[in-house]
Homo-oligomer: A and B are copies of this chain.
Amino acid sequence: MVIFLDKDAPDEKIQEIIDKIRELGFSVQKSEGQNQTVIGVGGIKPEYDLKPISLIEGVSKVLGISEPYVFAGREFKQTDTVVQIGDVKIGGEEVVIFAGPCAVESEEQIFNIAGQIAKAGAKILRGGAYKPRTSPYSFQGLGEQGLKLIRQAADQNNLLVITEILESSQIDLIGKYTDIFQVGARNMHNYPLLKELGKIDKPVMLKRGWSATIDELLMSAEYILAGGNMRVILCERGIRTFEPSTRNTFDVSAIPVVHQKSHLPIIADPSHATGFRDKVIPVSRAAIAAGADGLMIEVHHNPQKALSDGPQALLPDQLMQMMTEIRAIAKAIGRTI
């Protein structure tokens, strides 16, 4: 349910309305519209009688909504959400580049790569310290040592850190080191984790599960938003289809679909989507042209020796080349990189 308040409703009135609805047991979030304050209310069943709420003083309109999510939807918030961390803004005019290795492997590796991606113009350093791997015998990450290294490498190059979290018990530890929590495709349906991430004060990047619909992605985002954490960034990373020539099928239409249905920013991960280095650049260009708010690119200075996902990592030089190409495309559609 979405509640539109009188244009001149004073702050204490708004708070009073929010308190009343919370007492009824629902999640509530406020969204500042252009002329009007809007209040989203999560968890209201269709059969619920909206009349008592519409009668509260200061309420101008009550809107039952058609989607199963409230806070993730455009009906609740019509302006695009911009997630700001320091002076990096995701979802604004600038397209933001996240880059780095699949996994933090060593001090030499992460510092080398961090330096290169900073030079290329990336703003956020990616790298896993806890890796969810299909086989229990694959490299599972360096753990806290990896977190320390990525933090140091980022700080030295004036970058932000994004790293993956696998379960809610890791929130405090990983939170000490990261600027953004990454929830991977395998955990898009890990609701206990999403609920806990809804209670914290750090941005979360939520990847689409490889066989999740866009509505399911928004419903998973809703778990975080309903808890009060409104800084959610979505990520399209390819879906599972029958086509074998790429690892997954990058669903480029998901970008305009998300922008229509939701106010949340969405970035693209062409590295995981395609699985092959030589497809990363054309698909990155396509994502930017379709309106993506950022790119997450795997980069490795020595991909043949990478402990995971080497074949899809760009070389630093290729990242440079890619930056040139996507900068021109961003400009063509009125954005910057």
Contacts of A325 in B (CB 8 A): 332-333
A202: interface (CB < 8 Å)? no
- Which single member of B132, B195, B286 contacts A289 (CB below 8 Å)? B286
- A193 contacts B167, CB within 8 Å? yes
B215 near A245: Cβ-Cβ < 8 Å: yes
A285, B223: Cβ atoms closer than 8 Å: no
Q: Check: A189 CB closer than 8 A to any chain B CB.
A: yes
Which residue in chain B gives the minimum CB-CB distance to A133? Answer: B191
Decide: B245 and A242 in contact? CB cutoff 8 A. no
Interface residues of A in 245-296 (CB under 8 A from B): 245-246, 249-257, 260-261, 273-274, 278-279, 282-283, 285-291
Q: Is A256 in contact with B283, judged by CB distance below 8 angstroms?
A: yes
Within the complex, the shortest CB–CB distance from A209 to chain B, in Å, comes to 8
Contact between A249 and B253, CB atoms less than 8 A apart:
yes
By beta carbon, the residue of chain B nearest A222 is B136
Task: Please report the C-alpha to C-alpha distance between residue A153 and residue B25 in the assembled complex, in whole angstroms.
Answer: 31
CA distance A189 to B166 in the complex (A): 10
Chain A's interface size range is 35 or more
Cross-interface CB contact of A137 among B42, B279, B285, B289, cutoff 8 Å? B42
Copies held by the complex: 4
Contacts of A286 in B (CB 8 A): 252, 255, 286-287, 289-290
Q: Can you name the residue of chain B whose Cβ is closest to the Cβ of A68? A: B135
Chain B residues positioned under 8 Å from A333 (CB to CB): 285, 325, 328-329
Residues of B within 8 A of A44 (CB): 137
Partner of A190, one of B167, B214, B245, B329: B167
**A213 and B190 contact, Cβ closer than 8 Å, known pairs A136-B226, A278-B260:** no
Within the assembled complex, what's the spacing in Å between the Cα atoms of A137 and B42? 7
Whether the pair B282, A255 counts as a contact (CB closer than 8 A) is yes
Q: How far is the CB of A144 from chain B (nearest CB, A)?
A: 15
Partner of A329, one of B68, B211, B289: B289
Chain B nearest CB: distance from A284 CB in Å?
A: 9
Q: When A and B form their complex, which 7 residue pairs have the shortest distance between CB atoms, in order from nearest?
A: A211-B211, A328-B332, A289-B289, A186-B189, A286-B286, A285-B289, A43-B137
Could you list 30 A-B pairs, sorted by A, with CB under 8 Å? A27-B136, A43-B136, A45-B137, A68-B137, A136-B191, A136-B219, A166-B190, A166-B192, A167-B167, A167-B168, A186-B189, A187-B190, A210-B211, A211-B240, A211-B242, A213-B244, A213-B245, A214-B243, A239-B242, A240-B242, A241-B242, A241-B251, A245-B253, A246-B253, A250-B251, A252-B283, A256-B283, A286-B286, A289-B289, A325-B333
A211-B240, A213-B242, A257-B279 known, 5 other contacts, Cβ within 8 Å? A167-B192, A186-B191, A253-B274, A260-B278, A328-B332
